[in-house]
A = this chain, B = another copy of it.
Amino acid sequence: VEGSAGVFVSGGSEANFTCLQAARQWAAQVDGWDVRAEGVQRMRYPFVLYQSDQGHFCIRRSVEAMGLGRNAIHIIPSTPSLQMDVDRLRDQILADWGAGLRPFCVVATAGTVETGTIDPLDDLADLCAEQGLWLHVDGAYGAFGILDERVAPLYKGIERAHSLATDQHKWLSVPIDCGCALVRNGAALRDAFSLTLPNQDEHEPWLSEYTLQRTRRFRALDVWAVIHSAGRNGLARAIAHNIKMAHLLAQLVEAEPDLELISSGPLSIVRFRFAPPELRNEPLLLDRLNKALVHEMQQQGRAFLTSTSFQGKEALRACIVNYMTTETDIRTIVDETISVGKKEHSAINRGSTKKR
């Protein structure tokens, strides 16, 4: 897009941080003041921004580091489908304007880290346009899912975002650390960080004028190498395959009486837990069991899952982003969960017996 700017950074945290700096810069410019000179220490109209209750905590860290304070993040409840509730967002924005605050940015998520849910980007873009807010999309985990044509429609509206944060070191298999901050209004990004006049880097943009970091590694080389070797089609195939493998995992979990499917998002994240029928009405035991289970599985090293807690239920979370993931790997996850789960269950039983 003409006038846009993009810069490689260390990962999703810095990508989001960098985009939010541009958003703040832009909002202050709209209001006719220089946030870099004056800071926000004497704000009469405090900045506020919005994120759903499914959004990632790196946004919170950025906002804290920027001195806005995490109280400046107004958390919008999500709908039952775990998407940001646009009606409640509108109500909150209107209430905040009324309270003398300065709404300036909505942080949407394209692929939440817990379930891979994509916020209703097109509706959010409409609302941001209506209210004069910056729409930032955190696509650290999920943005590249758009390459899979079967889920691409879920991303409708992402092209209207003012900024987008991505992590090449996640779904693009680029070595750690590599993220990217993309900003439509490139001047706002430059204005947020630059120390030189724009005409000084007219011909070759100085990347150090677009981020906090100055001296930097040649990250673009890693990205180029991956794109060059896999091609757009290769990447799309790998991502579509990951999503297919996640759906397979969800199916296998559903078919196993000893497992319970917690959530299966549109992308490649699946949450489930070990829950044999005889224990289904023992929630505390199940929580304890699944917590021990994930720890033990990580120790065993045959499959790597992380723990997750959703609506009070301890569970396991699989996030499939390795292009080499096979059906065998997926079946290993299922088998390993059941086998380690049974072992942990009998260990707990023995423990209980001893105590009696």
Contacts and interface: CB of A to CB of B under 8 A. Distances in A.
Interface stretch (A63-71, A128-136, A253-261, A268-276): A63-71
Interface stretch (A87-95, A207-215, A346-354): A207-215
A105 B177 CA distance: 31
Interface-central residue, A12, A38, A41, A213, by most chain B CB under 10 Å: A41
A39 B214 contact: no
A85 B46 CA distance: 37
A176 interface: yes
A171 interface: no
A38 B69 contact: yes
Contact of A215 (B40, B176, B214): B176
Contacts of A43: 41-42
Contact of A71 (B11, B37, B47): B37
A216 to B, nearest CB: 6
Given A36-B69, A38-B69, A62-B212, 14 more contacts: A11-B214, A11-B216, A12-B215, A13-B214, A14-B213, A39-B64, A39-B70, A40-B40, A40-B69, A41-B69, A65-B212, A66-B67, A176-B216, A176-B217
Nearest to A65: B212
Nearest to A43: B41
A173 to B, nearest CB: 14
A112 interface: no
Given A169-B215, A215-B176, A68 B46 contact: no
B13 A41 contact: no
Contacts of A12: 214-215
Contacts of A39: 40, 46, 63-64, 66-72
Contacts of A11: 213-216
Interface string A9-25: 01111100100010010
10 contacts: A10-B10, A37-B71, A39-B64, A41-B67, A60-B195, A65-B66, A67-B68, A176-B215, A177-B213, A177-B215
B61 A40 contact: no
Interface string A43-68: 10011000000000110111111111
A196 to B, nearest CB: 10
A43 B176 CA distance: 38
In order of increasing CB-CB distance, the 4 nearest A-B pairs are A39-B69, A67-B67, A41-B46, A36-B64
A41 B46 CA distance: 6
Contacts of A177: 213, 215-217
A295 to B, nearest CB: 13
Contacts of A214: 11-13, 58
Contacts of A41: 40-41, 43, 46-47, 67-69, 72
Nearest to A102: B41
Interface in A164-208: 169, 176-177, 193, 195
